[in-house]
Amino acid sequence: MPEPEAAVAIVHARGAEESVLLMRRAERADDPWSGHWSFPGGRREPEDADLLDTAIRELAEECGIRLERAQMEEALAPTNAGRRLGRVILVAPFLFRVDREQPTVLDPREAAEALWIPLGRLRDPAEHGLRAVPRLPKEVAFPAIELNGTPLWGFTYRVITHWLGLHAQQPPAAPGFEAARLLLEFLLARGLTLQQGWTEDSVGRHLATVHGEIPATAVLEHFSTLRGEFPGVNRIEVQPDSVLVVGLALEEYLVKTDRSKSQKAKGKKQK
């Protein structure tokens, strides 16, 4: 396994109402996470003794909160942070606990705002949903929480759900299959007909085939308004002839139509 290249600080305030510090990154063309909600953090610099030093330094630089190494309570499992362009990097999250929420002094080059978010809100299934996110195709939806008009999603969302154990009652593949099952039920209720139930293809992807055109807009609207449970997926990609569900374990469930097959046959006849 490669070594992490960056680190983030998860600052957990106990207080009367437990909360965690999040910052919204400043809009910058050279930042692949520009404008995202995130934990304070960044890449390891040569002067950092280790990645824990990186997390502490970045927290101080970005949010003006200075903590000591002894305040680190737990090193969480390193997690991949995806990028819109280029390769992914491995990030080490470090959990710090403080007695109360601390004031922030933001570096405007790095952070546009910072919030202490109550853990009760993050644990509330009604806050979670599947949403399109800025600068990515509207046909792709990610699990997210809306914060001040900007979705909290991606790497930070995955770390939060892991830290709080929001999917702890189920094996990693189970929530993804449940989402795929609900998707197939929704399509059949909209008038599509089942041609082939779930099978596994040569690359290990779970596949189901339906007849009819997938109502892409209706699918996205339906799943964006579901509440009462935590989305058990990494993302959903919707097209007129297919829907791809990527689960928590990165397993894939593909519902496709027989439309493309019939179009190919029609094209051959025309030739």
Hunting for tokens 């996110």 — which residue is that? 133
Instruction: Tell me if 5 sits within 8 A of 44, measured CB to CB.
Output: yes
**Which pLDDT does position 248 carry in this prediction?**
81
- Spell out the domains of the chain, with CATH numbers in brackets: 6-121 (3.90.79.10), 123-271 (no CATH)
Tokens in use for 133?
A: 């996110």
Instruction: Tell me if 76 sits within 8 A of 93, measured CB to CB.
Output: yes
**Which pLDDT does position 92 carry in this prediction?**
97
**Which pLDDT does position 24 carry in this prediction?**
95
Does residue 140 surpass a pLDDT of 60? yes
Does residue 163 surpass a pLDDT of 70? yes
Q: pLDDT tens for residues 84-108?
A: 445 678 999 999 999 999 999 999 9
Q: Considering only 51-60, 217-226, 255-264, which range has the smallest mean pLDDT?
A: 255-264
Q: Which of 162, 123, 146 is nearest to 225 (CA)?
A: 146
**Which pLDDT does position 34 carry in this prediction?**
76
How far apart (Å, rounded) are the C-alpha atoms in residues 153 and 38? Answer: 9
How far apart (Å, rounded) are the C-alpha atoms in residues 19 and 13? Answer: 5
Tokens in use for 106?
A: 């933001």
More confident call, 183 vs 87: 183
Q: Residue 81 corresponds to which amino acid?
A: A
Hunting for tokens 């710090």 — which residue is that? 96
Q: pLDDT tens for residues 219-235?
A: 988 877 765 567 778 89
- Residue 114: beta bridge partners? 23
- Distance, CA of 184 to chain centre: 22
**Which pLDDT does position 83 carry in this prediction?**
54
Phi, psi dihedral angles at 259 (to 5 degrees): -60, -45
Confidence of residue 265 (pLDDT cuts 50, 70, 90): very low
Q: pLDDT tens for residues 102-130?
A: 999 999 999 999 999 999 999 998 899 88
How far apart (Å, rounded) are the C-alpha atoms in residues 219 and 190? Answer: 10
Q: Which of 133, 162, 130, 145 is nearest to 234 (CA)?
A: 130
**Which pLDDT does position 222 carry in this prediction?**
83
**Which pLDDT does position 267 carry in this prediction?**
47
Q: pLDDT tens for residues 234-256?
A: 899 999 899 999 988 888 999 99
The shares of helix, strand and coil residues in the chain, as percent rounded to the nearest 5, are 25, 35, 40
